[in-house]
A = this chain, B = another copy of it.
Amino acid sequence: MKDWIIKGNFLESESPDRFHIVENGFLPVTDGLCRGLFSVVPVQYQGLPVTDYGDRLILPGMTDLHVHAPQFAFRGLGMDMELLDWLNHYTFPEESKYGDLSYARKAYKDFVACLLHSTTTRAAIFATIHSAATLELMEQLERSGLQTLVGKVNMDRNCPEVVREPDVTTALQNTEQWICEARSRFARTKPILTPRFIPTCSDALMHGLKDLQRRYQLPVQSHLSENYGEISWVRKLSPTASCYGGAYDRFGLLGGDHACIMAHCVHSTDEELELLQRNGVYIAHSPESNMNLASGVAPISRYLELGLSVGLASDVAGGSHLSLLQAMMHAIQVSKLRWQLLDSNVRPLTLEQAFYLATAGGGAFFGKVGRFAEGYAFDAVVLDDSSLSHPQHLDLRSRLERLVYLSDDRHIVAKYVAGIKLFG
């Protein structure tokens, strides 16, 4: 990892509501860390080699806080059901195929290639219950240079036998073996505990996972308050819990002493939100998925006002697109429909807010990630919008807005993760 200076047009989030834009700026990078954005190279960095991206846009790498790698194969398919039917009809049959390592190898290759060529530099990823296939996914991710958290999924009830772990003891043994192997083999690719969601995890399994969480100091990811049918089911399964979030909390698996991501939180009650805030849980907002599965729209601008930790997520294959630029667009769009159709007290998301979610908001789950400020990991993507011709001059904020609505993989010309260049 060498030291150098990146030159170009930088955009980052100063706060959820404000861009920090430096046109024709300089970003010194030493030891893989950002040293801040400057209009002129500071004396102590003069002499470092300069990589000049000219008129291109340089953005912080983006964090996908929730994505299902095995579902990538059927993204854009079966978009005609709500969550619980969709799981039984499409998702579980597809995930069962990952018991076959050669299928997994092939399917995960497509996923990793697409993730690599996106603006995503960090991701929290669900695999399946299969340890071998999950390690294969981690191996491929490790080679890609991306920085990820990957979870072997746990589920031992209320699901077809083909995706159900045979019993709690086996589930926990397999999970522990997978944790140990992953920790010994990978540097950039780390295990995260992944009970799928309350309906598919017995109390005994959850207690066992809490033990593993403590023993190995692992983060946790799961699903929360996505869909009305799911929420009523959880109410029946966990009648003593005060809310859906409480059903995780009673096992100590909702943050607090560990880092935790809960996907969706579309229909979280005030009590649940308070619990999430108290426990420092990250909310993975998955706007396209919540639209495709007709789940609803989470009131994200309200969550930001409350000071909750929120990031953005593709949630493939509930979402059909891995691109977080597209997720930004979807986040803005669905927030407008929520405002118009449901509740005009919750303001639509701004471009600034959506960008914050995709960069600094979700990045914070990985530490100092998602900005170019001093000490942040150097995660960056370089975008070339010259093919999006425009008859006149556009400022940088406008150029970013157009990329959010109009860009695809062709516009991503370089990518750096944790100080290492992946391509470009």
Verify A76–B297 contact, CB threshold 8 A.
no
| Distance, CA A401 to CA B77, complexed state (A) | 6
A333 and B391 form a contact (CB under 8 A): no
Q: Which of A81-112 contact B (CB under 8 A)?
A: 97, 103, 106-107, 110
> By the criterion CB–CB under 8 Å, are B350 and A405 in contact?
no
Minimum Cβ distance to chain B for residue A275 (Å): 25
Is B110 a contact partner of A391 (Cβ separation < 8 A)? yes
A188: interface (CB < 8 Å) = no
In the assembled complex, A404 has its CB within 8 A of some CB on chain B = yes
Asked if A391 meets B291 with Cβ closer than 8 Å, knowing A75-B406, A337-B341, the reply is no
Complex copy number for this chain:
2
Chain A residues bordering chain B, tally (CB within 8 A): 49
Give the residues in chain B near A408, CB-CB below 8 Å: 408
Write the chain B residue with the least CB distance to A103: B391
Inter-chain contacts of A292 with B (CB < 8 A) = 333, 336
Interface of A is mostly: helix
Query: Beyond A350-B80, A391-B73, A391-B106, is A296–B340 a contact (Cβ under 8 Å)?
Result: yes
Using known A-B contacts A110-B389, A341-B297, A341-B341, determine if residue A336 contacts B291 with beta carbons closer than 8 Å: yes
Q: How far is the CA of A80 from the CA of B329 in the complex (A)?
A: 12
Q: Contact: A406 with B348, CB < 8 Å? A: no
Please indicate which of the listed interface residues A336, A340, A401, A404 has the most CB atoms of chain B within 10 Å of its own CB: A340
Query: Would A76 and B404 be within 8 Å (CB), given that A294-B339, A337-B297 are in contact?
Result: yes
**CB < 8 Å neighbour of A402 from B76, B329, B348, B394:** B76
With A106-B391, A342-B342, A391-B107 known to touch, is A291 a contact of B337 (CB < 8 Å)?
yes
* B80 in contact with A351 (CB, 8 Å): yes
Taking the closest CB of chain B, its distance from the CB of A342, in whole angstroms, is: 4
Selected contact of A79 from candidates B291, B339, B340, B351, CB within 8 Å = B351
A398 at the interface (CB under 8 A from B): yes
Does the CB pair A337–B334 fall under 8 Å? yes
Q: Are A340 and B295 in contact (CB under 8 A)?
A: yes
Name the B residues within 8 Å of A351 (CB-CB): 79-80
A120 beta carbon closer than 8 Å to chain B: no
User: Which residues in B have their C-beta under 8 angstroms from that of A390?
Assistant: 73-74, 110
Q: Is the CB of B294 within 8 A of A348?
A: yes
Q: A353: shortest Cβ distance to chain B, in Å?
A: 11
9 additional A-B residue pairs with CB within 8 Å, beyond A79-B332, A79-B351: A77-B401, A110-B389, A291-B334, A292-B333, A296-B337, A320-B329, A338-B341, A342-B342, A408-B408
